[in-house]
Copies of this chain bind each other. A is one copy, B any other.
Amino acid sequence: MTTTGKQIFTTLDKGGALTVEVAETEFPDPTGNQVLVKMEAAPINPSDLALLFGPADLDNAEYSDGKIVAQMAEPFLSGAKGRHGQRLPVGNEGAGTVVAAGDGEAAQALMGQRVACVPGHAFSQYAIAEAAMCLPLGDHSAEDGASAFVNPMTALGFVENAKMEGQKAIVHAAAASNLGQMLNRICQEDDIALVNIVRKQEQVDLLKNLGAKHVVNSSDDNFMDQLRGAIDATDAYYGFDPIGGGKTIDTIFKAMEQVAVGKMSEYSRYGSNQQKKMYIYGRLDLGPTILTPSYGFGWTLSGWLLTPFLQQAGQETAGRMRKRVLDNLTTTFASHYKKRVNLEEMLTKDAATNYRAMKTGEKYLVTPWG
C-alpha cells in the first residue's frame, strides 16, 4: 500500500531550460529504520535555493499553475552538468508527523510522533526519512521544529569547530541572516567573541538590539577601520563566510594581517606569523573568490559543509549538539518566517522572486497542506 501526495521537483535540461513543478508522487512504504513523515512545515533555506533555481532567470520565466520554466545561462549551465536531465526533489529539512514506520526499532519508536527530519525532499506532502536523523519534537509545533537542523546545527557547528581549533573569537560575514542571529546568541551563551560584518545600517541596529558587541558595516567609509578595530579587540583571526564570491574574504584576511603586522616590531618580507583561517560555507555570490597577495603565507581558506563536519566531530558531539538545539528550540535556535506558502503558492512569480532575494528577515515557510 503506497501513499500518494504532491511534491516539488526541479529539472535542468542540457539546453538550459529549468523546470520546477509540483507533481503527484507515490511514496513507498518505509522499510528498516525509515519512517514516512506527513510533512507539515519546511523552511526555504539558501542551500535549497541553489538546487531549486540556481542562478536561473526568474524575472523572465514562464509561470503557470504549480510550474515555473526558466532559463539557465552559461557558465552555470555547463557548471551544473552533473544534474542535466535529472528530475530532482528539493528541501533539506522540515517537520511533520510519522504516519508509517519500518520494522526497525528506532523507526517503530517514532510512530505517531511529531519530528524534525532531514529527508532532502522536504518540499512535499510526505517524506521518507531516516529515524536516526529524526528529532522528536514533543509538544513543539511543526513550525517550531521545521528549521531545527540546517541553521541551528550549522551555527552551532561553527562554534564547536572554533573550540576544536582553540579559537575564542569568530568573524562572521553576512551576519544579520537567520543563521547569523543564531550564531550571535550562541556566542553570547558560550562567551565566544563575535565580529559581525553586515552591509546595512538597519542590520547593525538589528544585531546591536540582539546584544551584539561588534558589528561592522561594509557600506561605511571607514569600514576597514571598524573591521581592524573589532579584530584587534577580539583577536578574531578565524571566521565563516556564506558569500564566497568577490573580495569579502580578501578584505577580512587583509584586516587580520594589518592588525597582526601592527603588533610586530620589525618588517618581515613574509608577513606576520599570525595564522588566519576562513571558511566558505555558502555561495550567495557565484562570482569567483578573489585572493590578493596582501597577507603573506599564514592563511588558510577552506570550504565548510555541515555533514562532513558532523562526521569529523563524531557521534557524541553531534548528539550533544542536537540535544542543545531541542532544549532551546524556541529561544536560541528560533527561526522566524515572513510568509507561509503551499506548494503551488511557492511557485508563483511573486513568491519565488521574493524568497530568492534572501533578504534579512524574509524567510519563507512551506506548509504543503495549507
Chain A: residues with CB nearer than 8 A to chain B? 47, 50-51, 79, 82-83, 86, 88, 244-245, 250, 261, 267-270, 273, 280-281, 283, 286, 288-294, 296-305, 307-308
Q: Which residue of B lies closest to A286 (CB)?
A: B293
B288, A292: Cβ atoms under 8 Å?
yes
Question: A189: shortest Cβ distance to chain B, in Å?
Answer: 27
CB-based contact A86/B283 at 8 Å: no
Residue of B270, B291, B292, B305 near A297 (CB, 8 A) is B305
Distance in angstroms from A225 CB to nearest chain B CB is 16
- Min CB gap A109→B, angstroms: 29
Return chain B residues, CB-CB under 8 Å to A50. Answer: 269
**Which residue of B47, B82, B301 is within 8 Å of A301 (Cβ)?**
B301
Q: Which residues of B contact A267 (CB under 8 A)?
A: 82-83, 86, 88
**Can you name 20 A-B pairs with beta carbons within 8 Å?**
A79-B293, A79-B294, A82-B261, A88-B267, A244-B293, A245-B293, A280-B297, A283-B293, A286-B293, A288-B292, A289-B292, A296-B303, A297-B303, A297-B304, A297-B305, A298-B305, A300-B300, A300-B302, A301-B301, A301-B302
A303 to B273, CA, bound (A): 12
Residues of B within 8 A of A86 (CB): 267
* Bound-complex Cα distance A245 to B244 (A): 18
- Please give, as numbers and ranges, the residues of chain B lying within 8 Å of A294 by CB-CB distance: 79
Residues of B within 8 A of A308 (CB): 273, 298
Given contacts A298-B303, A299-B302, contact A289 B291 (CB under 8 A): yes
What is the chain B residue whose CB lies nearest that of A290? B288
A289 to B299, CA, bound (A): 13
Find chain B residues with CB under 8 A from A302 CB: 299-302
With a cutoff of 8 Å between Cβ atoms, the chain B residues found around residue A297 in the complex are 280-281, 303-305
- Specify which of B51, B286, B293, B304 is in contact with A269 (CB 8 Å cutoff): B51
Given B270, B280, B300, B301, which contacts A305 in the complex, CB threshold below 8 Å? B270
**What are the 8 closest A-B residue pairs judged by CB atoms, nearest first?**
A297-B303, A300-B302, A289-B291, A51-B269, A297-B305, A82-B267, A288-B292, A288-B290
Taking CB atoms, residues of chain B closer than 8 Å to A270 are: 305, 307
Known contacts A83-B267, A293-B283; A301 and B300 CB within 8 A of each other: yes
CA A323 – CA B301 in complex, angstroms? 34
